[in-house]
Each structure stands twice: as structure tokens, then as C-alpha cells.
Structure 1
Amino acid sequence: MNRTGALAVAALGLLGLGVLARGRWPGSAPALDCEPGAVRVVEGVAVCGDGALPSAPQRLLLGQKLDLNTVSESDLARVPGVGSSLARRLVREREAGGRFRSWEQVADVPGVGAARLETLQATTELR
């Protein structure tokens, strides 16, 4: 077999693998049939029903938002784009001035620019 034939066989093999992978790829339907607030964790696995409440990192992995007014500094530091110094400033501001009541108050914290505010709005909520 010449080089062109070998490349054709390899390309057909890759095409076949792609078709097989597409057929087995997970759909966009939720994996759990319960509301996000009803998700619990049993031995590290997310389930509906009984179990422990997900930790802050687990909530982020599940696509759930953290409460910016109650989240700990260490958990807030794990949010991508936040880091330990900004988490410290946010928690200190929250402790000094009380709960954040608006995103404008969050934006007033030094170090929270437009991009970080967008990240915080996507990963946290003000309850």
C-alpha cells in the first residue's frame, strides 16, 4: 500500500471513531431529575434526595451558585478569577459593612473590576 492509501485508511478510521464517539457523547439533558437545591452528595456522588449538602467546591462543579454573603474566604478563593487576596477583601468588606445588597456594592470593593464582577455574578448570588 502506498502512502496515499495508508492516509486514506487512517482518515476513514478516524472518521469512524468520530461517528462512534458522537453516538456515545452525553446529551444536554440534566443528569439528575431534581431541582438544583435538592441535590445532595452521598460518598462523593451527586444524587437527588437524602445525603449531605454539597460543599462550596462541589456546588461550583455542579454549576450551582455560592451565596456571596455567607461563603467562607477559603471557598471564595477557589472561584476561578477571584483568588485569595480578593476573597479576603470581599469577606472583610462584608464583615465591616454587612451583607452585600447590590452588585454595585460588590463593584466598589478594591480589585473588583468589570471582568471580576462578571465572574462573581456568574458564580455567586446575593441572598
Structure 2
Amino acid sequence: MQQSLLSLLLLAAPAWAYPSVTIKSCWDGDTCTTAAGEKIRLACIGTPELTGPRADPVAAKAARGHLRRMVVGKQVEIRRITKDRYGRTVGELFLAGPHITRLNVQREMVASGHAVVIPKYAKQCPWAD
């Protein structure tokens, strides 16, 4: 009986899981900070800029709001890919839990129209090809 229960639990568990972090805040639509202070740049996507010569503050605030609603205060899985020139971790975030199917945060940002795939970096994310 115990062996069959263990087998059932193993089948129900995800095939893979990444380390988890808690997101404390999001600066814009593609940059967040964890509760531990790690800065995360969402891999493979770009969102409108808040400031600068190509700023689009209305769209940038909408993207930031969408991302915040998805991840702030939540524990998310992270697939760390590399570090960028600013020392931020470049990675993919995933929402997962007992009542939700694993959701790729970057894919959701693109699907919702708040982000676009950056072709130069698309190879880092299998879904972005």
C-alpha cells in the first residue's frame, strides 16, 4: 500500500521544479526584487520604458501593474540563466502551486500584450523561438 501511494505522489509531482523565491516588488514590467534583495531581470522579454528618450509611461505602468498583480508577495519558481551587465539575475519566473498549473510569467506578459519577445535573447527561453 505505501509503495503505491508513493508512486501516485511521484506521478502527481511536477517533472521538474526550480528553486523558489518570494517577490517583494517590481520596478517595471520586466524587473523585480526578491525578499532576499536579489534583482531579477525577466529573461527573453522587453516591456515599455518608464523613463528616458523612448519612454511610454502609460504602457510601462500598465505592464508593471500586470506583473505586480501576478507576482508581488508570492512565492515563485525561478530558472536562473545568467547575470546581466548591471549584476541582475536574468531568469524565468513561474507561478506554481497546488491549485494552479505552472504558469510562465514571461509568456503571460507577452500573451497579455504587456511585453514582447526580444529576438536577440529568445534562444534563452525554449517557448520564445
Question: TM-score band (shorter)?
Answer: under 0.3
Instruction: Give the structure with the higher percent strand.
Output: 2
**Larger proportion of helix:** 1
The structure whose RCO (Cα within 8 Å, separation 6+) is larger is 2
Q: Which structure has the greater CA radius of gyration?
A: 1
